[in-house]
Amino acid sequence: MNRFNPNFRTALWATIVPLALLAAAPAVATVTVIPQSALTPSTTYFTDLIGGGLGPIAVMTGGGNAANVGAPDGRNDDGFMGPINLGFTLSFFGSSYTQFWANNNGNISFTGGVSAFIPTGPQGASVPVISPFFADVDTRNPLSGVMHVRTDIANEIIVTWDAVGRFASHGDLLDSFQLVVRGPGYSIPVGEGAIGFFYKSMQWDDTDTSHTAAVGFGDGSANGEVLEGSNLPGMAAVVNNHHIWFDPNLAPVPPTQPPVPEPETYALMLLGLGVIGFAVRWRKQRCAD
């Protein structure tokens, strides 16, 4: 058929228009929900277990409101520090990263810092993020702690928001949480993972600007994984005194359980208790004689 034939052009246009509309249609985001049952009760940071402290105070290099860039005390609102070298290559949602930004508002990011303070969900950020507790953190109050970044361990970085306050400059309630990220060269012990979220006392998710917090991962293009209950009131109470590990594919690592003794072991234990009981009775009888 001649391409200048009106019938040909009509047929061609009928094909092109649906394809153009399909290309313009927004892709549906994929969001995986992590059940709250994946959380494990605990009352410590990871650094409490391994020693070495929280690391240096994070000095801001950029950010939004009251970022306090360059101030050594680290007190700020909506600031971030970076880029910081990971010391390894991290594969995250199909991309590889060697640097990160530590953001005051409860997350770390890749390709750039994040000063956003309203948690629309980790998957709603414009850059890839790992969010142990994305909320409107504000450390300007003297009663608040600050963010710390530790990079002294090979193939591992640790970021801690230690007893931090909330916007606007409130220090009456404080949140304490920590992020652990490990590279592919780290030998991961049984029961641990490549990424860990650790929570001690979590007293707030309600601020002057928002009333929720988000926990999880986002790829910067609306896809991600969030903990059940993210962006709903009460997230602080959910994660309070808990932790969770994730494998390199961002799947929760089941907590290790004490081994269940085999039936033969039970029999030996009972036999041992019987022998001990007999010996005690025999000694008492001899003493009585």
pLDDT tens digits, residue range 149-177? 999 999 999 999 999 999 999 999 999 99
Q: State which amino acid sits at residue 154.
A: A
- DSSP assignment, residue 38? G
- DSSP assignment, residue 73? T
- Name the band, by pLDDT with cuts 50, 70 and 90, for residue 285: low
Q: Reply yes or no on whether the pLDDT at 1 is more than 90.
A: no
Give the residue with greater pLDDT, 142 vs 26: 142
Task: Name the 3-class secondary structure at 272.
Answer: helix
Q: 67 Cβ partners below 8 Å, 6+ apart?
A: 60, 76, 77, 78, 79, 80, 115
pLDDT of residue 266: 41
| 39, burial (CB in 10 Å: exposed 0-12, middle 13-18, buried 19+) | buried
pTM of the model: 0.82
Instruction: Identify which of 216, 208, 252, 212 has the alpha carbon closest to the alpha carbon of residue 232.
Output: 212
Q: Reply yes or no on whether the pLDDT at 257 is more than 70.
A: no
Distances (CA, A) of 68 to 239, 242, 272: 29, 31, 66
Are the C-beta atoms of residues 102 and 181 closer than 8 Å to each other?
A: no
pLDDT above 90 covers a percentage of the chain that reads: 75
Residue 95 CB coordination number (10 Å):
12
The average pLDDT across 67-91 equals 98
- DSSP assignment, residue 234? T
Distance CA 170, CA 229 (A): 24
pLDDT tens digits along 166-211 = 999 999 999 999 999 999 999 999 999 999 999 999 999 999 998 9
Q: Reply yes or no on whether the pLDDT at 17 is more than 50.
A: no
Q: Worst-scoring range by mean pLDDT, 12-16, 86-90, 249-253?
A: 12-16
Task: Name the 3-class secondary structure at 50.
Answer: helix
Give the residue with greater pLDDT, 21 vs 82: 82
Distance CA 58, CA 76 (A): 10
pLDDT of residue 264: 53
- Name the band, by pLDDT with cuts 50, 70 and 90, for residue 89: very high
| 64, burial (CB in 10 Å: exposed 0-12, middle 13-18, buried 19+) | middle
pLDDT of residue 280: 41
